[in-house]
Amino acid sequence: MNTAQRYEFFAAHEARGHSECYEQWSREIACDEEILALIEQLPEDKRQPNLVLGAARYLGAEPSSFADFKAWLIRHWASVAATATARRTQTNEAGRAAVLLPALARIPGPLALIEVGASAGLCLYPDRYSYRYDERVAIDPADGISGVILDCITSGNPPLPTELPNVVSRSGVDLNPLDVENADDMRWLESLIWPEQQHRRERLRAAVAIARTDPPRLVTGDLLDTIADLVAEVPSGITPVVFGSAVLAYLDPDSRLAFEKTIRDLPCHWIANEGVGVIDSVAARLPHSPNPTRGSFALSLDGAPLAYVGPHGQSLDWIAGE
Ligand SMILES: C[S@@+](CC[C@H](N)C(=O)[O-])C[C@H]1O[C@@H](n2cnc3c(N)ncnc32)[C@H](O)[C@@H]1O
């Protein structure tokens, strides 16, 4: 896809229905030679809509007509380009804990959670959030309702736990870990949330407040190079659980296969929450989706598919039986 097609695709298939502002801006960018020429000054892997528009928002671009945004973008292009070059798309979505929870509940604890591609590590706190499945089933931490309440709609009778997992350690790896104590890093995470999604911004702030009370241990590096050491650090008697969410799509197919082989040889469980089709061996075992319009991610445990899930943890269509 060339740059114009990328922005057109983003408008039609990603922003549409979720952000009127981003849909309009990206659709107009796709036809605007002047803005396309600016974006094409960036390296190929820095031209994606989420990164460029996130950089603009980080620098103060407010939702507006495309004409006003275009004028703003041209005025601030040097700063936008510098931010897009220095930063990555690292959207950290605590909501994904709602779909990880039923997979974690299948693993005997106590658990040492290890996240690959952790961003700021906000998915490492499944025991500190509250859950509302279909506005019917409520699961809360032992000390009461959390500041983060995750709503998730389900089908297929997922086996939901009555208690949250016993998590004794939280670690992870990222090419560029973000620090929950660093206000600038957290402002970048907020900028990656689309303009109209105020509920996600509030959820992010509440999850950051929880993580600040007990920050995760995140190492800088490539997941392939570091995962064996992270698993080896877990003391005996604790179950190591490696999980990744919206990360393997960033790897080339050979690296994805190498990661899968590495993880299967390690003494740990492996939960993957990735776009359908990202892990070939999981995709090959998936039945048809019961709700194709909402579950664009596949949740698996040790390579076995469990559910189709919403990309931000908003839906869980269970396919694995009890
Ligand atoms: C879209 S974010 C997802 C963050 C988090 N897992 C979540 O679900 O909210 C993907 C993260 O993976 C990281 N990442 C991408 N490739 C990686 C690699 N080879 N090794 C480690 N981290 C990687 C990125 O830096 C980014 O922080």
Residue 65 CB contacts under 8 Å (≥ 6 apart), including other chains: none
Distance 282 CA to ligand 1 centre (A): 19
Say if residue 321's pLDDT is above 80. Answer: no
Say if residue 302's pLDDT is above 90. Answer: yes
Q: Which of 115, 175, 203, 222 to mutate to test the pocket of ligand 1 (most atoms within 8 A of CB)?
A: 175
One-letter amino acid at 256 equals: R
Say if residue 95's pLDDT is above 80. Answer: yes
Say if residue 132's pLDDT is above 90. Answer: yes
pLDDT band for position 154 (50/70/90)?
A: very high
Nearest Cα neighbor of 295 from 281, 284, 280, 305 is 305
pLDDT band for position 76 (50/70/90)?
A: very high
Say if residue 180's pLDDT is above 90. Answer: yes
> What per-residue confidence (pLDDT) applies to 291?
87
pLDDT tens column, 35-64: 999 999 999 999 999 999 999 999 999 999
Distance 290 CA to ligand 1 centre (A): 28
Distance 195 CA to ligand 1 centre (A): 22
Q: Whose CA is nearest to atom 23 of ligand 1?
A: 117
Average confidence (pLDDT) over 127-146: 96
How far is residue 245's CA from residue 298's CA, in Å, rounded to a whole number? 10
Using the atom order of ligand 1, give the atom closest to the CA of residue 177.
Answer: 27
Distance 251 CA to ligand 1 centre (A): 10
Full set of structural domains in the chain with CATH: 3-86 (no CATH), 94-318 (3.40.50)
CA angle, 234 as apex, 251 and 272 as ends, to 5°? 30
Q: Which of 174, 190, 225 to mutate to test the pocket of ligand 1 (most atoms within 8 A of CB)?
A: 174
Average confidence (pLDDT) over 221-244: 98
pLDDT tens column, 157-170: 999 999 999 999 99
pLDDT tens column, 14-29: 999 999 999 999 999 9
For the entire predicted model, the pTM comes to: 0.94
Distance 224 CA to ligand 1 centre (A): 12
Average confidence (pLDDT) over 126-153: 96
Average confidence (pLDDT) over 125-138: 96
Using the atom order of ligand 1, give the atom closest to the CA of residue 273.
Answer: 8
Using the atom order of ligand 1, give the atom closest to the CA of residue 255.
Answer: 19
Looking at the chain, the whole-number percentage of residues with pLDDT higher than 70 is 100
Other Cβ atoms less than 10 A from the Cβ of 79: the count is 14
Gyration radius of the chain over CA positions:
20
Tokens of 18: 């979720």
How high is the mean pLDDT of the chain?
96
One-letter amino acid at 227 equals: I
Tokens 């009127």 — which residue? 20
pLDDT tens column, 241-293: 999 999 999 999 999 999 999 999 999 999 999 999 999 999 999 999 888 88
| Longest CA span, the chain | 60
> What per-residue confidence (pLDDT) applies to 294?
85
Distance 23 CA to ligand 1 centre (A): 25
Contact 29, 36 (CB under 8 A): yes
Tokens of 24: 């309009």
Using the atom order of ligand 1, give the atom closest to the CA of residue 173.
Answer: 21
> What per-residue confidence (pLDDT) applies to 293?
83
Distance 34 CA to ligand 1 centre (A): 32
Q: Is the dihedral of CA 300, 301, 307, 311 positive or negative?
A: negative
Distance 294 CA to ligand 1 centre (A): 22
> What per-residue confidence (pLDDT) applies to 292?
85
Average confidence (pLDDT) over 288-313: 93
pLDDT tens column, 184-217: 999 999 999 999 999 999 999 999 999 999 999 9
Distance 117 CA to ligand 1 centre (A): 3
> What per-residue confidence (pLDDT) applies to 135?
83
Distance 118 CA to ligand 1 centre (A): 6
Q: Which residue ranges have their beta carbon within 6 Å of ligand 1? A: 88, 90-93, 96, 117-119, 123, 173-176, 222-223, 245-247, 250-251
Other Cβ atoms less than 10 A from the Cβ of 126: the count is 25
Looking at the chain, the whole-number percentage of residues with pLDDT higher than 90 is 94
Say if residue 322's pLDDT is above 80. Answer: no
Q: Whose CA is nearest to atom 8 of ligand 1?
A: 245
Q: Whose CA is nearest to atom 12 of ligand 1?
A: 117
Q: Whose CA is nearest to atom 14 of ligand 1?
A: 117
- 308 three-state secondary structure: strand
